[in-house]
Structure 1
Amino acid sequence: MDIAPFLSYLENVKRYSPHTLLAYKEDLGQFLDYCATINEVSDFPDVTSKMVREWMVIEMSKGRKATTTRRKLSVLRTLFKYLMREGRLAEDPTETIILPKTGRRLPVFVPDYQMDEILDSEDLQGGFPEVRDRLVLLMAYCTGMRRSELVGLKIRDIDFAGKSLVITGKGNKQRLIPLANELIADMQVYLEFRKKQITREHGYFFITDKGAPVYDKFIYRLVVRCLGKVTTSSKRSPHVLRHTFATQLLNNGACIEAIRALLGHSDLSATQVYTHNSFENLIKVFNQAHPRA
């Protein structure tokens, strides 16, 4: 069962990121190995709904979270819908599968006083590495950019005169983000340092100490290291800064539709999860301030 054409479609037509493509390849590889070894299936039309259900049960029995199993099933559904469009399948074996239920998890965010502590730290003052590291954190906090968007940001995407930048997000969709004055000043300082670090221009905004473009793990490790200095939370990732950006906007009066546009969500339901954090904050304020609470 060859999935190479499907992965090529995701890469070239749907414009999925290399990280997402790798995750799809791994999930599909696990399912296809199961079909081949347990059920001796060698072609997609022979896959049944029963096989998909049994595979899900096996995955859950390994201790997989419901969210992980739902993601794996979503990958299968995307594959089988593609095969039906290509005329290689008459029926989708995942169509009747019911997704396992999951509890709603509130997004983890960093309080503003802890963000101030990080950004004002002496550890992020000095030469090029410190200026860059601080700017990565500040940009994620002030724009809500995803890790892949920070990695892919290019100098040409920035309009200092218009105080904005163009972000290319999921599905190659672009959105315009305003830039705060503090962020602009730090970006200009960084660019002066960058000129001295780079030997061969490639256009990417964020670079390593050796002048090469940064990569996913570089950004991830940087954020985890810096957040670890102010929080004991197990959730310390670039996405936490994206959650922090959205939560701070909502807590300070921004409308949910504006936040959706800034985050680049295509569906408002993906943004509404932040209203739960805002409501939790209101409950704390009420309990602390109301005499009858």
Structure 2
Amino acid sequence: MLLTQAMDEFLLYLQVERNYSQNTLISYEYDLKTLQDFLIRHNRSLQLEDLIPSTVRRYIQEMVLKYELKPRTMARKISCLKSLSRYCLKERFITVDFMAGIELPKHDNKLPVYMTLSELQMLFRFLEQDQGRFALRNHLMFKLLPSTGMRRQELVDLTWQQVNLDNMTVKVFGKGKKERLLPLHPMVHKLFIDYRGSLLAYQIHPEEPVFRNKYGEKLNGRGLHSIFKDTIEKSGLPPKRFSLHHMRHTFATLLLQENKENVDIRTLQELLGHESLATTSIYTHVDFEQKRKAIHSFHLDK
């Protein structure tokens, strides 16, 4: 079997049986293609059964030394190849694990970047006074993200049938199409009502997208990113420092810092839609870092 055929079968499996998102599938396809391109450049066999650990190690070496890929990026590529190898073994496409003995590179677990409460309030003040054509839409989007912790893709995929303004909830579909129900903050609930009232009748049909671009079409992730960067800059915050994913970090961090008596780590895990509690635990590290800074600023030696 050719590697290309195995890759196609693997990606189809992830899409149909595992319900992976389109963004994840695109990332996996890209990572797999970099291995295929490496084999072609170096005149290596494209037969799946000819792929062995030493060849994969050469590929990793080239990615790191020639293309200077960072450990975190390399870890993602290796994880992708390990998943492919497990799938091929399970389907009996191969009898030998071509990822045997290959470990993920160690990398620093950096604390997530997030907005402080004052920075978030600075963004909110701009949204509240903005008079632009899409001010109401942007106001809702950029208060919805840091008040629910939903992912960028979850926001752009929202349809009106997922929004229940009577119960003040929004249903989102996360990774693997896993469903979770998120409560709406009262300030966002009011914005939803105002925003819905500004739309045409057909635009609030249950199957229609909640957020549209300037052409009236469904807003996509790239468009949302562009709007966010423009909004951040106009609010007076540095656009290069914050990304849309940092809004998710902001939600989790501030929720723990400002409301820890009502929020435990498992509640946060459910709100964020994390499969593993270990993924959510990074935010307890953030909270501890704040404690460390507080202690270190406590000058007792004067």
Fold in common (TM above 0.5): yes
Instruction: Point out the more displaced range, 125-134 or 86-95.
Output: 125-134
Q: CA deviation at 1:287?
A: 3.5
- Whichever residue aligns with residue 250 of structure 1, its letter is L
- Whichever residue aligns with residue 110 of structure 1, its letter is M
User: What's 1:184 paired with?
Assistant: 189
Call closer, same or farther: CA 1:194–1:95 in 2, change over 3 Å.
Answer: farther
Structure 2 residue 278 is matched with structure 1 residue 273: no
SS at match of 2:170: strand
User: What's 2:27 paired with?
Assistant: 23
- From 253, 268, 280, the equivalent of 1:259 is 268
Call closer, same or farther: CA 1:114–1:197 in 2, change over 3 Å.
Answer: farther
Tell me the alpha carbon deviations over residues 169-196 of structure 1, each in whole angstroms, 9 at most, x when there is no partner: 0001011111111110001111112227
What is the alpha-carbon distance in structure 2 between the residues aligned to residue 24 and residue 66 of structure 1? 17
Structure 2 residue 95 is matched with structure 1 residue 90: yes
Query: What number of residue pairs does the alignment pair up?
Result: 293
Unaligned 5+ segments in structure 2 are none
What does residue range 71-220 of structure 1 map to in structure 2 within 5 Å?
A: 71-121=76-126, 125-126=130-131, 128-195=133-200, 198=203, 202-220=207-225
SS at match of 1:136: helix
- Whichever residue aligns with residue 63 of structure 2, its letter is E
User: What's 1:34 paired with?
Assistant: 38
Call closer, same or farther: CA 1:70–1:124 in 2, change over 3 Å.
Answer: farther
Unaligned 5+ segments in structure 1 are none
Q: Is the 8 A contact 2:57 2:102 kept in 1?
A: yes
Q: CA RMSD in A?
A: 2.1
SS at match of 1:166: strand
What does residue range 40-51 of structure 1 map to in structure 2 within 5 Å?
A: 40-51=44-55
TM-score in terms of structure 1 length = 0.93
Q: Is the 8 A contact 2:158 2:210 kept in 1?
A: yes
Call closer, same or farther: CA 1:249–1:208 in 2, change over 3 Å.
Answer: same
What is the alpha-carbon distance in structure 2 between the residues aligned to residue 202 and residue 274 of structure 1? 35
Tell me the alpha carbon deviations over residues 123-144 of structure 1, each in whole angstroms, 9 at most, x when there is no partner: 8533550111111110001000
Structure 2 residue 290 is matched with structure 1 residue 284: no
User: What's 2:253 paired with?
Assistant: 247
Q: CA deviation at 1:288?
A: 3.9
What is the alpha-carbon distance in structure 2 between the residues aligned to residue 201 and residue 262 of structure 1? 24
Q: CA deviation at 1:217?
A: 0.3
Q: Is the 8 A contact 1:128 1:194 kept in 2?
A: no
- Whichever residue aligns with residue 260 of structure 1, its letter is Q
Call closer, same or farther: CA 1:199–1:157 in 2, change over 3 Å.
Answer: closer
TM-score in terms of structure 2 length = 0.90
- Whichever residue aligns with residue 154 of structure 1, its letter is T
Tell me the percent identity.
Answer: 27
User: What's 1:230 paired with?
Assistant: 236
